Amino acid sequence: MTVLKSRIDTGADEFIANVEAMNAKLADLDVEFRTVLVGGGEKYVERHRKRGKMTARERIELLVDEDSPFLELCALAAHGSQFTVGASVVVGIGVVHGVECMLVANDPTVKGGTSNPWTLRKILRANDIALANRLPVISLVESGGADLPTQKEVFVPGGRLFRDLTRLSAAGIPTIALVFGNSTAGGAYVPGMSDHVVMIKDQSKVFLGGPPLVKMATGEVSDDEELGGAEMHARVSGLSDYLAADEQDALRIGRRIVARLNWRKRGPEPVAVAEPLYDAEDLLGIVPCDLKIPFDPREVIARLVDGSDFDEFKPDYGSSLCTGWATVHGYPVGILANAQGVLFSQEAQKATQFIQLANRSDTPLLFLHNTTGYMVGKEYEQGGIIKHGAMMINAVSNSTVPHISILMGASYGAGHYGMCGRAYDPRFLFAWPSAKSAVMGAQQLAGVISIVSRAATEARGGVVDEEADAGMRAMIEAQIEIESVPTFLSGMLYDDGVIDPRDTRTILGQTLSAIATAPIEGTSNFGVFRM
């Protein structure tokens, strides 16, 4: 055992200030999450209940195993947009009859559960996660189809929703649709493309076009039941495989379907678990309020990994990046954690070797971000920082073991890419409330624009207006600051959720367990490394 030793002084003024700052951010986040929980708002929830229906979250709660956790993903989708936060759909990983499944539940209290551009992106993300990790998908359907005013953004790309479902099926991943209400037009293809379909008597309505549309199109007069009622689909069209008596019965049948899938995990079994030696509570005070101040990621690792046991790789080489091996909830991981913010050539080369080693031993990788990017400057350019950074990005891009990224502090510039940012398809990416991500820091970005525009003014023979320049810098800085924070980035679906640092170990355990549903296989096939 190589047990990490913590050097944190939890009584130090600086630590206490960090905890206060983190708690303030968590309180703000809590307000956001409470808004998400009320879906379309009290008026619509009330109306929904008066119809004798359960909310999307209540349905999920009854579907998953008793007392099992539900890992909700992308809860803040659409934050900062014109649409309701959460994007009228609840998605996440839940355990149904002992099987980890991807649950996708339309929220009918938000615009009839219709899909706007953010709903679409969120469901596509859920499908990607299901495919990569071999998770059965259960759709809890009640949706009026496309959000008509924004149809131009959902209609064409929205075709992927249905393509994904059948591709999941072709990959041998089961897809189950439990239809709770209206499932019109595009919504009708969700049961249409699913392997197993349950509908509820007198409640589910599945048709390509409702009675008014049919009357418009062909002049035929019909009612809901004959066009798309559950009984008709169970007895006549054959679209439904099971006819449920009510919502509870549909959820019960859904659980029975999963029980009969005979689903087996294909990844490794976890080994025995020892809890970390240090308190997760301390994670609130490790990241400094000012991200320019570096912190030791070993303090974080000591609170995330089993037994705080960490075998560091190349500790004396490229020390601005800490790399090493550990287990989390019994699952082996290789960890890459930024230690001093900047990545130099040595760090990039060390990371590349480490990623290759993880691929040789089929070990998933965990990236803990706090980086301002690769080092700039004459000495470093001449030393080949571009080719070394590219080498690390090559390794990250072509590595086939699962990756998980946690944004703890800064995640700027190409450092975000090298550390497996969103575009590099980590299986999961979560951000702490203290994280910030952008092409560079707000102050630096405003400064760069100022230098460029000053030079342009001077080149034209003009005189720099200092007051205007200061105003412009302040404005840009404020804008970039707003666009770099986790709630904003989460709204854009650039992460799978903003999490309380204290929950990180649990969430890593849940995601590593979900990941182990699929086989874990590394590669030795990387792009050409520019030496």
Which residues are near ligand COA by CB under 6 A?
Answer: 108, 111-112, 114, 144-149, 182, 184-186, 210
Smallest distance from ligand COA to CB 522, Å:
44
Q: How far apart are CA 470 and CA 401, in angstroms?
A: 47
Smallest distance from ligand COA to CB 103, Å:
21
Residue 237's CB is within 10 A of a number of other CB atoms, namely 12
Smallest distance from ligand COA to CB 333, Å:
44
| Helix (H/G/I), strand (E/B), else coil: 240 | coil
Nearer to ligand COA, 31 or 216 (CB): 216
Nearer to ligand COA, 44 or 430 (CB): 44
- Rg, C-alpha atoms of the chain: 25
Nearer to ligand COA, 158 or 364 (CB): 158
* DSSP letter for each residue of 19-48: HHHHHHHHHHHHHHHHHHHTTT-HHHHHHH
- Cα–Cα nearest to 58, from 29, 84, 37, 33: 37
Nearer to ligand COA, 246 or 469 (CB): 246
Smallest distance from ligand COA to CB 245, Å:
22
State the greatest distance between any 2 C-alpha atoms of the chain, in Å, as a whole number: 82
Per DSSP, 146 falls in state B
Q: How far apart are CA 407 and CA 297, in angstroms?
A: 12
Q: How far apart are CA 531 and CA 529, in angstroms?
A: 6
Smallest distance from ligand COA to CB 83, Å:
11
Q: How far apart are CA 483 and CA 186, in angstroms?
A: 33
Nearer to ligand COA, 119 or 372 (CB): 119
Nearer to ligand COA, 122 or 298 (CB): 122
Q: How far apart are the first and last CA of the chain?
A: 36
Smallest distance from ligand COA to CB 186, Å:
5
Smallest distance from ligand COA to CB 203, Å:
12
Nearer to ligand COA, 149 or 315 (CB): 149
- Cα–Cα nearest to 108, from 158, 150, 152, 54: 54
Smallest distance from ligand COA to CB 148, Å:
4
- Cα–Cα nearest to 118, from 494, 493, 417: 493
Look at the alpha carbons of 296, 299, 302, 305 in this order and tell me if their dihedral is positive or negative. Answer: negative
Nearer to ligand COA, 146 or 520 (CB): 146
Smallest distance from ligand COA to CB 121, Å:
17
Smallest distance from ligand COA to CB 226, Å:
17
Per DSSP, 423 falls in state G
Beta strands in 185-320 (DSSP E): 196-200, 205-207, 242-244, 311-313
Query: Residue 336 pairs with which residues in a beta bridge?
Result: 323, 367
Nearer to ligand COA, 44 or 412 (CB): 44
Query: Where do the H-state alpha helices sit in 337-465?
Result: 345-360, 378-382, 385-398, 413-418, 442-459
H or E element in which residue 409 lies: strand 403-412
Nearer to ligand COA, 210 or 276 (CB): 210
